[in-house]
């Protein structure tokens, strides 16, 4: 029997950007050619929580990397946030916006009046990421949401705690939203991953009955795809790595684990499990073998593939129903 690939039966491929397609200004190895190949026989769209940029600028960057992308193929968290906002306040209302060009342009396209001051009596606050946001902008949002504004709608594009950059991992919009939250004692409505509106918009825009989402974060990408009922790939080219995979909670576990996006087109090996007489469970993926006995997870054979070893270890741990903090895990399984 021919082993299936992660793309078998998929008619819509949805991809995150940071940590999946590129890191900083550079394309991640295997990403461009793998996505272009996938796009020869199915629709491809890009979902990003990055609220600082317009769809046009994202499409231009992706095109410069060698991908075939139009503006409409980019679904952003500001787009999802502005649609949420449209259901909360009257058309044309004044909105206090904390964010970059990507957020401001979507607000103007939707017909909202934009302000940066709480003194202008905004009807709502909307918050997204930009690298130049500082104390002054966060304070204006806090002022607007206090006192008479305590019931004012507050929408956040996303709450990613971190973002991958060319220099490393940096604070994301979640840290900025948290600063306002701590000042006003309330939480915003969130539009981007891991919430479902951004996925629902993508599927409504492109159709498809069997989408597959590509992400690099368990807490936003994979959790969001699971909430939306979409199969997912966690690719180990961004934020989350082996240790985080093994500790993933049941709501944040991907359908597939890939070392890089070349794996989209490669056979995905089956997971084989056997029960031993001593009560242990032995999980085999390819030539990688992991044993779990009680709360001890140990390496039996590393095999010839680190990703298969991680697949075997994660299957053993996830299938046990036990919390990761109660397990003794061989360090070789997440090295």
Of 11, 18, 249, 278, which one is the catalytic site residue? 18
Pairing of strands 43-48, 22-23: unpaired
Distances (CA, A) of 170 to 102, 138, 174, 257: 19, 18, 11, 24
Q: Is 16 an active-site residue?
A: yes
Strands, E, within the chain: which ranges? Answer: 12-15, 22-23, 26-27, 43-48, 74-76, 94-98, 113-115, 124-127, 154-156, 162-165, 168-171, 189-190, 211-215, 231-235, 256-258, 272-275, 281-285, 288-293, 296-301, 328-329
**Cα–Cα dist 304/306, whole Å:** 7
Backbone angles phi, psi at 299, to 5 degrees: -80, 130
Q: Is 249 an active-site residue?
A: no
Of 11, 16, 119, 304, which one is the catalytic site residue? 16
Q: Which residues are catalytic?
A: 16, 18
């Amino acid at each position: 029997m021919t082993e299936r690939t992660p793309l078998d039966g998929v008619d819509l491929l949805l991809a995150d950007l940071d940590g999946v397609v590129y890191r900083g200004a550079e394309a991640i190895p295997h990403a461009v050619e793998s996505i272009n190949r996938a796009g020869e026989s199915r629709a491809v769209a890009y979902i990003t929580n990055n609220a600082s940029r317009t769809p046009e600028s994202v499409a231009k960057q992706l095109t410069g990397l060698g991908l075939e992308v139009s503006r409409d193929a980019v679904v952003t968290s500001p787009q999802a946030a502005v649609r949420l906002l449209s259901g909360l306040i009257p058309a044309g209302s004044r909105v206090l916006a904390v964010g970059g060009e990507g957020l401001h342009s979507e607000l103007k396209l939707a017909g909202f009046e934009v302000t940066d001051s709480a003194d202008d009596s905004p009807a709502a606050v909307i918050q997204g990421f930009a690298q130049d946001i500082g104390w002054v902008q966060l304070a204006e949002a806090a002022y607007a949401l206090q006192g008479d504004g305590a019931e004012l709608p507050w929408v956040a594009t996303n709450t990613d705690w971190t973002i991958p950059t060319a220099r490393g991992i940096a604070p994301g919009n979640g840290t900025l939203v948290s600063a306002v939250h701590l000042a006003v004692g309330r939480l915003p409505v969130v539009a981007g991953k891991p919430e479902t509106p951004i996925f629902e918009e993508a599927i409504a825009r492109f159709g498809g009955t069997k989408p597959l989402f590509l992400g690099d974060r368990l807490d936003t990408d994979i959790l969001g795809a699971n909430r939306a009922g979409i199969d997912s790939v966690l690719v180990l080219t961004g934020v989350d790595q082996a240790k985080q995979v093994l500790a993933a909670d049941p709501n944040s576990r991907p359908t597939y684990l890939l070392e890089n996006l070349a794996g989209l087109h490669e056979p995905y090996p089956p997971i084989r499990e056997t029960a031993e007489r001593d009560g242990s469970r032995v999980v085999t993926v390819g030539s990688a073998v992991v044993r779990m006995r009680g709360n001890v997870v140990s390496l039996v054979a590393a095999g010839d593939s680190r990703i298969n070893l991680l697949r075997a270890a994660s299957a053993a741990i996830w299938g046990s129903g036990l919390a990761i903090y109660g397990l003794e895990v061989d360090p070789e399984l997440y090295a």
